[in-house]
Structure 1
Amino acid sequence: MRIEDNLRSIQPIVFNQLQKTIKKKQLTHAYLFEGDSGTGKKNMALWVAASLFCQNLVDSLPCQECTSCVRVLKQVHPDVIEIAPDGLSIKVEQVRQLKSEFSKSGVEGQQKVFIIEDAEKMTPGAANSLLKFLEEPNGKAIAFLLTTAKQRLLPTILSRCQLIHFRNLSKQRLLDELEKKQLDSSQSALLVHLTNSLETAVLMSQDEWFHEASKIGFRWFVQMITKKDDSFIFIQTDIMPHFKERNQHLLAIDLVLLAYRDVLKVHYETIDILAYPQYREQIEKIAKQMSGKKLSCSIESILQSRKKLESNVSAQGVFEQLTLIVTKD
């Protein structure tokens, strides 16, 4: 699928807005694309950039076939410069280098485009350094700041960029795309509850560790919800050996949370995509045996446990405390 068709499909409002702006030649010097991962922010920035370098514009829009378009979309054009976090943050040195590039003429013309990924991860020094550029824009340079958390950006940066919100992909839309790629339907159903990104979902589907993790996560849910005596042993023998890193600990909690939410959906006969459709019969049986109040309390406990993990509390302690709480009568 051409990038234009994909963007038009997943972000029709943003696409139409920018399409009109491009045709009227009214692009501003700085944009802030805000939205969750996988919502098309990067590709939209590249598509707009392609419109500035295209050799064969079609109704003022990029042809996506000429040498310039292909290089922009493949991220190898010398006048489209990208920066991303170096480790956990974007450093002031990276922004200074970016500003140095801004001061130069384009390699193949006057136009230059800059894309800053995860802009919310700029250090205070980097953000202040960028602010000086935004206050004194260069007419031949356009900057795209991409973020999943605009509230973490300086208000002064927000005020100098045109904010464009990218809506989340619907679960059904993402599920349809995964099925086109012939992914296992039950695995796809779980993936659309864990990510909004098609690319991330495909990568996760190819990860044997994740396949095993999803099975262990559901078994842990069954252990807890049926009040098995060996629930605590399961944490030591299965959970901790497989889920070793902090992000994996969070995934373990999310897998259990999704199972509980499936039960709650079935309990209240909510029409929605189940995360574990392959276990529907088992989920329906559990839903008949539990009250909505008990399910809601368990879900709240799981959410509290997730917050503790985010605060770097010991994972095994969090898992054991959660198991103790939800297995109470």
Structure 2
Amino acid sequence: MSFQSYKAQKRVIEFLQTAIKQDRVAHGYLFYGPKCAYKREIAIEFAKVVNCEKGQLDPCDECPTCMQIQSGNHPDVVVIEPDGNVIKMEQIKQLQHRFRYQSAPGMTRVVILDSADRMRIETANTLLKFLEEPTSSMLAILITEQEKSIVQTVRSRCQTVRFVEPSWLELAKRWQVHGIQPPMNYVLAQCSYEFEQLEMDSDELEKIFRHVIEWSQLLVSKQSTAIVTIQEPWFQEMIQKKQVTLVLDFLMIWLRYVSRLTIRMSDENMVDFIQQGRNIAKRTTQNACAKMMEQVMITRKLVARPELSDQSLIEQLVIQLQKDAPSDWTKLGYS
């Protein structure tokens, strides 16, 4: 890969290349923006280009240094991500210990902290030791979705770099590069997932999506058997694998598509599913789809809370979708 592979972030790349060209690379950067905006990928490319043996504005991907960094095996380039739910103090201390030793000649040490907002305040303060006493041979890149989710003391020591959200078509191409074929690459482009989060191929993903379509037919027609679907093997497997969010995202995407079909708007990227979509659209309205999507969004947010049961939330969603009146989840104990 190279910088040129991320055309959606043209301004970011130009900014970073200008810093390299003018020999004004900062000691700390804060990359922030939407989840699927290539922040981590561009951080890796940046680590390569500041260390590339050919000294270009784009990594060559051929020299031993570029190849080692890309494979994650270079001793002077470290990626830290949450261990469980947080970046732990021990991870930062291990980094400090590792960087006590002399780097390879001519190397700029790079530490990339993915999901940097998931540090407790004491961990962030330990990290400050890297940022307050920078050396000419170290670069820290913090990655987050919201700029202000990083504590001010850390944020003030970094140059902030805003990433924009790529289009669905750009994201679809990215998924196809990872082996996810049409139409599922386009479906996944509408979700907030990284490739590493989904250990399924195109066929497996399409099978789940078609299950969701069948489930939606029961939900739209308010059939009592909709709740029985939750007990089916495919759904139980998704619950056990903690992938209920994927089911809900697929349901949201499908309802959005059906909503468009109710007003005779189609989508050429979803042509494989158009007949099923039209059949469901005949039995609902755009307004009804909007109300269903609202309930799915509420459930999607609640699923992220570890103290709540995924299965109970899905069962409650089905019950709410079968009601005509808007529901108040707070009255059900889901505040």
Tell me the TM-score normalised to structure 2 length.
0.84
**Partner Cα separation in structure 1 for residue 59 and residue 273 of structure 2:** 47
> 1:299: which partner in 2?
293
1:70 and 2:67 are equivalent in the alignment: yes
1:61 Cα deviation from its structure 2 partner: 4.8
> 2:160: which partner in 1?
163
> 1:215: which partner in 2?
210
Gaps spanning 5+ residues in structure 2: where?
A: 325-335
1:262 Cα deviation from its structure 2 partner: 1.1
C-alpha contact (below 8 Å) 1:22/1:61 kept by paired residues: no
Equivalent of 2:284 in 284, 290, 307: 290
Equivalent of 2:81 in 81, 84, 93: 84
Residues 127 and 183 of structure 1, relative CA distance in 2, 3 Å threshold? closer
> 2:55: which partner in 1?
57
**Partner Cα separation in structure 2 for residue 87 and residue 319 of structure 1:** 24
1:207 Cα deviation from its structure 2 partner: 6.9
Equivalent of 1:97 in 91, 94, 98: 94
CA offsets, 1:232-286, max 9 Å, x none? 2222335652322373222222222222111112224456566x54221232243
C-alpha contact (below 8 Å) 1:224/1:326 kept by paired residues: yes
**Partner Cα separation in structure 1 for residue 180 and residue 144 of structure 2:** 29
Residues 205 and 170 of structure 1, relative CA distance in 2, 3 Å threshold? farther
1:124-273 correspondence to structure 2 within 5 Å: 124-178=121-175, 183-195=180-192, 197=194, 199-200=195-196, 203-206=199-202, 208=204, 210-238=205-233, 240-245=235-240, 247-270=242-265
CA offsets, 1:99-143, max 9 Å, x none? 344444323246322222221222322111012332222232111
* SS state at 2:239 partner: coil
C-alpha contact (below 8 Å) 1:179/1:188 kept by paired residues: yes
Letter in 1 for 2:257: D
> 2:30: which partner in 1?
32
C-alpha contact (below 8 Å) 1:3/1:43 kept by paired residues: no
1:43 and 2:33 are equivalent in the alignment: no
**Partner Cα separation in structure 1 for residue 177 and residue 128 of structure 2:** 43
Residues 151 and 285 of structure 1, relative CA distance in 2, 3 Å threshold? same
Gaps spanning 5+ residues in structure 1: where?
A: none
**Partner Cα separation in structure 2 for residue 181 and residue 161 of structure 1:** 32
Q: Percent identity?
A: 28
1:195 Cα deviation from its structure 2 partner: 3.8
C-alpha contact (below 8 Å) 2:29/2:160 kept by paired residues: yes
Equivalent of 1:321 in 302, 305, 316: 316
C-alpha contact (below 8 Å) 2:2/2:58 kept by paired residues: no
**Partner Cα separation in structure 1 for residue 120 and residue 249 of structure 2:** 30
Letter in 2 for 1:166: F
C-alpha contact (below 8 Å) 2:220/2:284 kept by paired residues: no
Residues 98 and 14 of structure 1, relative CA distance in 2, 3 Å threshold? same
1:26 Cα deviation from its structure 2 partner: 0.6
Residues 110 and 218 of structure 1, relative CA distance in 2, 3 Å threshold? closer
C-alpha contact (below 8 Å) 1:79/1:108 kept by paired residues: no
Tell me the TM-score normalised to structure 1 length.
0.85
